Structure formats: structure tokens, C-alpha cells
């Protein structure tokens, strides 16, 4: 069976997207591969397809529980049952049962912390691991935008598993980050595929406004004007809810909000409603969008600027996967960046929490105020590392924290520089990844674009039908 056959029969696609074939063929020829494919081009196919042509198991390291869930669900929906996700949310019995039967699975998704458990490594060792996949591989580098300390231990884990064939995937990694990936995973020889971060069908526009009132006004104008569906990103939960109220008042009825403070079941429903086309607009925090396979998103608006260029490209990359014209708008008002200063500080334990952890050796789970998931991960990792290096843990942790905070401030400034620049926006972001800029039509506000291309032309069906439980139930569960 060749790769085309698998692509048609297993996945139902007619052709590869840019970069997929190169990555897949590189893996199948037995070379360690590092592939940088822009968001929205189907990275997961790069390990899913080879799995059907390789004899053994495919291990996938993934940084986020929700991402793991999305990917396992997508595989299952395609009829693949041999999928399991191992993460810290499994109950003890479930985990034991899963570990005892790992050879039943073709795809094993793991969080990096699971790979630190001897029993997990012990259960993986007897398997024939045909491919070791590191998803979101930029997490390994502190020069990357989403550094995960536990990703740095993956190189040792690879050795313990007998140095299997490895595929590192990322959407956005500068040369420096790619170097960290190679070193971190102990990959001396590696085939590198770097595809352009440019998404030619997404036009870019930045608008600077006087204050929040003007921004609200403009948001309503834009959302009303553009062809839907679309996503609006905010950097706070409350802001998403307020925006939905205003959009609805302005007549955009099929709008909903999505953020991490909602019940998991409600979040899932919003995601499904958006996928099925029952919603036109989702106002969301950055928690929304990862792992969502929706082809026809026409606009992404940033009501607040993202904390760095890489997040921005990831988020706008959710638009226009079908290749049709799409638009990304960023609204900026003076002072917006200060929100991120605050958010960044919240990602790390404060001095009081560090003291409890070090001086009083309080269990990370019992610290007051309680540590967030990110804070706990940071605390556990660097306390351990300090002990290994025989350093004062409190001093070491504060130093690491301040170092990372400085990095984040630098990333924030890069983002601001991009916003304030009067150069071509596309050229600027490509330059950021050491790519040669190119001229193209429908580029950005600096080169000049015509927003009417993205205008909503169809008249929206406004009226919602009457609610009647008999009709609704008969529709759901028809008789003979």
C-alpha cells in the first residue's frame, strides 16, 4: 500500500496539503524528522498516516489534555479504536488496566509528566515503538513561546525507550528553537522540513483605536460586516461574555462565548455547535480553537493582542483552512499590553508560595492560595532540578521565574513592534522566521486591502423556529 492509497482510503482526502507528503515520506524512509508546518495545514496527519504503514506502536507526546482529547476523538470518529490517552486525570484503576494492555493500542497519547513515571516507561519498553512523535515540539525550548519544563526531559525518555524513530512537529519555531528541539531530543542527524509560515489566503489588518468604547463599536461593525463563521479572541473570560451580549443586541444572534471557566460539558457543546455551523461567532479566550478541525472559518478578530507573535500566527491560522479568502483583524488600544504583564506573572508561583514550598516543604497540592496547573508544573519541576543541582531551591526558582518573565516581556515587545510597524505585516512576520518576504495581492493594511472581499453577502436567516418538544423529539428520534 502506498501513501496515496492510505490517504484516500483511511482519511478520505484526495490530495496532500503542503508539507504533509514530504514529512510522511521522510519518516517512512526511516529518518528522524523535524517538521515545521504552518497552523491549519494538518500536522496530525503526518503521524496518523505513517502509523498505518509501520508495524508497531506510535507514541505521541502532547502538552495539553484538551489537545489529546481532540486528537483521540478525531481518530475514533474515523473508526480507529486502538487509541488511548494516558494522562494524570486517569483514575488509578484505569491507569493500571491501561498499562497492562498497552500492546492493544496503535496510538498512545501521553503527557510529558506521564513519561516521568517508571511504571509507564516499564510498560512502554516491551512494545515495538515504530514512531515517537513530539507534538508542539517548540515547548522544549525556552526561546519558544510556550516553554514546558518537563519537555526538556524527553531526550532522556527517548533513550530509555531505545531511541526510536522520531518525528518532531511544530507550527512555529525560529532557527534557535529548532536547534533546541534537535539538542533536547538528542537527535544528531535529523531531516528538517521547514515550510513557510505564510498563509497567503489570510489577509491582515491592524487597527489602533482610542479606547475600549471605540473598540466595542468597531467589533460590532466588523462582525456584522464580515462573512461568517468567525472567532473573536479576548484575553479575559468576562470580556468574552460581555461581547456576546453586545453582539446579540446588535442582531448577531448566533453568537456564544467560550472560556476555561465554563463547565467542561458546556465547553464541549459550544465546540460542537461551532463545528456543525449552528453558531456564527464564538467569542473566546485562547483556550478555544486548538485541535478544532473547521475548514471554513472566514475571520479571526483579536479584540486584545496576543502575548506574542507565535500565538498570533497560531490563532489567525485557524481561518481559511479550505484555502478561501479569509481575514485577520487585530484591534489595539493603548495599554492593552499591560493585561499580559499581569497574566504572565500569574503563570508562576509568587514569593509566598515559593516559601511554603521550599522553607516549609508544603506539598504542592496543599499550598495556599492553591497553585494553578501551570504554576504547579513549574514548581515541581524546578524544585526537583534545584535539588539535583544542589542549589538553594527558593533562590533557583525565583531566578528561573524572573528569567522567564523577562523572556515573556521581550516577546510582548516583539508583538508590539509588529503592531506599530508601518512595513508590510506579512513581510514582518515572515522576517521573524528568517523567511524572505514576498509580494502578494490581498496582503495587509500596510500594502492596502479591500475589505469588501470579505463582506457577508448572503442574507442571514434570522428567525428561529418555534420550540415544540414533540417536533424536537420526533426530529431527534424519528419512528419507523
Partner 1 sequence: MCVRCLEAVMVNAIKAVEGERTSSSVYHLLKGKKSAQTIQDAHLYQLTKWFHTAPFLTLSSFETMMNGLIKKAYITGDLQRPFVTQEGVENMNRLFQQTGSFNELSGWQFSGTASVFFSRLQLLVQVASHLTYGDSSYYPVTRDDRILEWVKRFLTYMPCSKKELSPRLYSELDCLFRQLPEQPECIVIRFSGHKQTGKTIAQAAERLEMEETEYWFRFLHALHSMIKNITESMSGTPLLQAVVMDIHDPVTLTISARQTADHLKKAMTIDQIAASRRLKKATIEDHIVELALNDPSFSIRPFIEEEKEAAVIEAARLVSNRQLKPLKEKLPDHSYFQIRLVLAKESGKSV
Contact residues for partner 1 (CB under 8 A)?
Answer: 69, 73, 77-78, 94, 256, 262-266, 268-270, 272-273, 275-276, 278, 464, 467-470, 472-480
Shortest CB 473 distance to partner 1, Å: 6
| Cβ nearer to partner 1, comparing 125 with 474 | 474
Where helices occur in 290-392 by DSSP H, the ranges are 309-316, 336-346, 351-358, 373-388
Q: What angle do CA 33, 289, 436 make, to 5 degrees?
A: 50
Q: How far is the CB of 85 from partner 1 (least distance, A)?
A: 10
Q: Which residues lie closer than 8 Å to 110 by C-beta, 6 or more apart?
A: 59, 60, 61, 62, 85, 86, 87, 120
Tell me whether residue 263 or residue 366 sits nearer to partner 1 (CB atom). Answer: 263
Cβ at position 231, least distance to partner 1 in Å: 17
Closest CA to 199 of 423, 37, 436: 37
Where would I find the H helices in 209-288? 212-225, 237-249, 264-276
Q: Which is nearer to partner 1, 85 or 424 (CB)?
A: 85
Q: Give the whole-angstrom CA distance, residue 145 versus residue 138.
A: 7
Which residues have C-beta within 8 Å of that of residue 303, sequence separation ≥ 6? 215, 219, 232, 233, 234, 239, 243, 283, 331
Nearer to partner 1, 125 or 264 (CB): 264
Contacts of 240 (CB under 8 A, 6+ apart): 234, 257, 258, 259, 283, 284, 285
Least separation in angstroms between residue 389's CB and partner 1 is: 39
Nearest distance, CB of residue 293 and partner 1, angstroms: 10
Minimum CB–partner distance for residue 283 and partner 1 (Å): 13
Q: Find out whether 233 and 303 touch, Cβ atoms under 8 Å.
A: yes
Tell me whether residue 366 or residue 464 sits nearer to partner 1 (CB atom).
464
Q: Please identify, using beta-carbon distances, which residue of 78 and 82 lies nearer to partner 1.
A: 78
The H-or-E segment that residue 282 falls in is: strand 281-284
Give 55 or 479: the residue with its C-beta nearer to partner 1: 479
Phi (first) and psi of residue 42, to 5 degrees: 80, 65
Considering the complex, state which of residue 66 and residue 142 has its C-beta at the smaller distance from partner 1.
66
**Residue 200: how many CA atoms within 13 Å on its side-chain side?**
9
Q: Cβ of residue 464: shortest distance to partner 1, in angstroms?
A: 8
Min. distance of Cβ 289 from partner 1 in angstroms? 15
Q: Are 146 and 138 in contact (CB under 8 A)?
A: yes
What is the C-alpha separation between 452 and 439, in angstroms, rounded?
A: 21
Task: Between 134 and 231, name the residue whose CB sits nearer to partner 1.
Answer: 231
CA atoms within 13 A on the CB side of 122: 7
- Minimum Å gap between C-beta 477 and partner 1 is 4
Indicate the residue among 194 and 268 with the shorter CB distance to partner 1.
268
**Which lies closer to partner 1 via its Cβ, residue 257 or residue 418?**
257
Of the candidates 327, 339, 328, the residue with the CA atom closest to the CA atom of residue 453: 327
Residue 343 Cβ vs partner 1, minimum distance, rounded to whole Å: 21
Helix and strand numbers (H, E) in the chain are 18, 13
Shortest distance (Å) from residue 262 CB to partner 1: 8
DSSP symbols for 92-138: HHHHHHHHHTGGG-SEEEE-TTGGG-HHHHHHHTTS-EEEEEETTGG
Residue 123: half-sphere exposure toward Cβ, Cα within 13 Å: 21
Amino acid at each position: 500500500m502506498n501513501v496515496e492509497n492510505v490517504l484516500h482510503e483511511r482519511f478520505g482526502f484526495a490530495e496532500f496539503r503542503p508539507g504533509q507528503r514530504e514529512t510522511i515520506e521522510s519518516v517512512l524512509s526511516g529518518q528522524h524528522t523535524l517538521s515545521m508546518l504552518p497552523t491549519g495545514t494538518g500536522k496530525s496527519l503526518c503521524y496518523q498516516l505513517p502509523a498505518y504503514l509501520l508495524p508497531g506502536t506510535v507514541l505521541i507526546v502532547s502538552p495539553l489534555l484538551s489537545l489529546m482529547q481532540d486528537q483521540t476523538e478525531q481518530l475514533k470518529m474515523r473508526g480507529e479504536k486502538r487509541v488511548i490517552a494516558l494522562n494524570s486525570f486517569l483514575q488509578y484503576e484505569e491507569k493500571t488496566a491501561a498499562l497492562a494492555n498497552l500492546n492493544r493500542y496503535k496510538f498512545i497519547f501521553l503527557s510529558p509528566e506521564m513519561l516521568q513515571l517508571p511504571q509507564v516507561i516499564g510498560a512502554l519498553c516491551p512494545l515495538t515503538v515504530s514512531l515517537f512523535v513530539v507534538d508542539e515540539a517548540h515547548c522544549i525550548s525556552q526561546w519558544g513561546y510556550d516553554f514546558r519544563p518537563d519537555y526538556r526531559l524527553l531526550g532522556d525518555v527517548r533513550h530509555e525507550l531505545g531511541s526510536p524513530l522520531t518525528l518532531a512537529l511544530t507550527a512555529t519555531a525560529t532557527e534557535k528553537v529548532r536547534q533546541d528541539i534537535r539538542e533536547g531530543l538528542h537527535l544528531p542527524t535529523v531531516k528538517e522540513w521547514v515550510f513557510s509560515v505564510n498563509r497567503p489566503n489570510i489577509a491582515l489588518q491592524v487597527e489602533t483605536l482610542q479606547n475600549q468604547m471605540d473598540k466595542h463599536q468597531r467589533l460590532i461593525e466588523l462582525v456584522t460586516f464580515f462573512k461568517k463563521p468567525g472567532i473573536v479572541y479576548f484575553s479575559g473570560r468576562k470580556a468574552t461574555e460581555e461581547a456576546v451580549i453586545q453582539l446579540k443586541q446588535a442582531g448577531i444572534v448566533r453568537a456564544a462565548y467560550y472560556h476555561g471557566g465554563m463547565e467542561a460539558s458546556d465547553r464541549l457543546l459550544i465546540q460542537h455547535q461551532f463545528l456543525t455551523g449552528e453558531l456564527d461567532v464564538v467569542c473566546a479566550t485562547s483556550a478555544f480553537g486548538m485541535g478544532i478541525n473547521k475548514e471554513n472559518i472566514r475571520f479571526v478578530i483579536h479584540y486584545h493582542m496576543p502575548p506574542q507573535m507565535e500565538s498570533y500566527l497560531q490563532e489567525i491560522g485557524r481561518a481559511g483552512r479550505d484555502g478561501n479568502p479569509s481575514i485577520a483583524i487585530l484591534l489595539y488600544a493603548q495599554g492593552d499590553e499591560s493585561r499580559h504583564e499581569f497574566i504572565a506573572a500569574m503563570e508562576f508561583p509568587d514569593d509566598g508560595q515559593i516559601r511554603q514550598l521550599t522553607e516549609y516543604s508544603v506539598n504542592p497540592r496543599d499550598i495556599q492560595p492553591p497553585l494553578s496547573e501551570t504554576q504547579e508544573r513549574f514548581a515541581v519541576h524546578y524544585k526537583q532540578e534545584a535539588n539535583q543541582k544542589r542549589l538553594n531551591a527558593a533562590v533557583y526558582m525565583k531566578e528561573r521565574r524572573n528569567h522567564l518573565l523577562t523572556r515573556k516581556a521581550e516577546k510582548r515587545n516583539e508583538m508590539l513592534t509588529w503592531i506599530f510597524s508601518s512595513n508590510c505585516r506579512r513581510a514582518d512576520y515572515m522576517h521573524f522566521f528568517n523567511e524572505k518576504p514576498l509580494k502578494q495581492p490581498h496582503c495587509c493594511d500596510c500594502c492596502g486591502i479591500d475589505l469588501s472581499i470579505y463582506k457577508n453577502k448572503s442574507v442571514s436567516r434570522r428567525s428561529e423556529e418555534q420550540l415544540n418538544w414533540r417536533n424536537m423529539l420526533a426530529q431527534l428520534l424519528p419512528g419507523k
